[in-house]
């Protein structure tokens, strides 16, 4: 059924890149999307939305976006459910089909030096592609390539660490 979301906002932190046990890249980040109107106190609030993106687009996100970057997201809303202290919890996220980098002029100033400059799109999560092992587990993320290597992701790409060993079949793609 139709489930379409389009957002433009700024990353609240650097994106996190992880890999599934099968070597599929997944990036997560939070997008701050300013509200249309200020609240009665005159403050312009924002909604903080959790974004997930898979495969090649995940690696592009990790390479080209960072805290503060302006980005567009085209995807779908999804609610994940989990138990915590015996209570059912809900986690709402946007699964991005496309992430667009929106920093037009050799911006990004300080920091990582992603070069960049052109407005650019990353297309992720192609619907139901063969889930081959084409992602061999090699970490192509340029920014997190120091000591820690990459992180494995299991069922929850937003989780801090994932030790439980599950297969790709449990992943939502």
- Residues forming contacts to its own copies in the complex (CB under 8 A) are 1-10, 33-37, 39-40, 47-49, 70, 72, 74, 76-79, 90, 92, 98, 100, 102-105, 107, 109, 119, 121, 123, 126-128, 169-170, 172
Only segment of 57-65, 111-119, 123-131, 136-144 that touches DNA (CB under 7 A):
111-119
- Is 44 one of the binding residues for DNA (CB under 7 A)? yes
How near is the Cβ of 132 to DNA at its closest, in Å? 30
How near is the Cβ of 32 to DNA at its closest, in Å? 3
Between 84 and 148, CB nearer to DNA:
84
- Is 13 one of the binding residues for DNA (CB under 7 A)? yes
- Is 78 one of the binding residues for DNA (CB under 7 A)? no
Q: Write out the DSSP string of 120-131.
A: EEEE---TT---
- Is 118 one of the binding residues for DNA (CB under 7 A)? yes
Strands 16-19 and 151-152: parallel
Strands 70-84 and 120-123: unpaired
- Which residues share a beta bridge with 29? 51
Between 45 and 168, CB nearer to DNA:
45
Judging by beta carbons within 10 Å of its beta carbon (0-12, 13-18, 19+), is residue 74 exposed, middle or buried?
middle
3-state class (DSSP) for residue 25? strand
What is the spatial distance between Cα 4 and Cα 74, in angstroms, rounded to a whole number? 7
What is the separation of C-alpha 142 from the centre of its chain, rounded to a whole number of angstroms? 16
- Residue 11 CB coordination number (10 Å): 19
What is the spatial distance between Cα 25 and Cα 48, in angstroms, rounded to a whole number? 23
How near is the Cβ of 137 to DNA at its closest, in Å? 26
Which residues are near DNA by CB under 7 A? 9-13, 30, 32, 34, 44-46, 48, 67-68, 81, 88, 104-105, 117-119
């Amino acid at each position: 059924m139709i489930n379409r979301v389009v957002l433009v906002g700024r990353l609240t932190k650097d994106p996190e890149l992880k890999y599934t046990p099968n070597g599929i890249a997944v990036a997560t980040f939070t997008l701050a999307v300013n509200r249309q109107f200020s609240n009665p106190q005159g403050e312009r609030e924002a909604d903080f939305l959790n974004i997930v993106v898979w495969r090649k687009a995940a690696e592009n996100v990790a390479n080209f976006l960072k805290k503060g970057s302006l980005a567009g997201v085209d995807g779908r809303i999804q609610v994940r459910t989990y138990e915590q202290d015996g209570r059912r919890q809900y986690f709402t996220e946007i699964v991005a089909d496309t992430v667009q980098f929106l920093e037009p002029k050799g911006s990004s100033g300080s920091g990582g030096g992603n070069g960049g400059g052109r407005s650019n799109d990353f297309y992720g999560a192609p619907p139901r592609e063969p889930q081959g092992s084409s992602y061999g587990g090699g970490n192509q993320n340029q920014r997190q390539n120091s000591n820690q290597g990459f992180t494995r992701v299991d069922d929850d790409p937003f989780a801090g660490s994932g030790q439980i060993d599950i297969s790709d079949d449990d992943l939502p793609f």
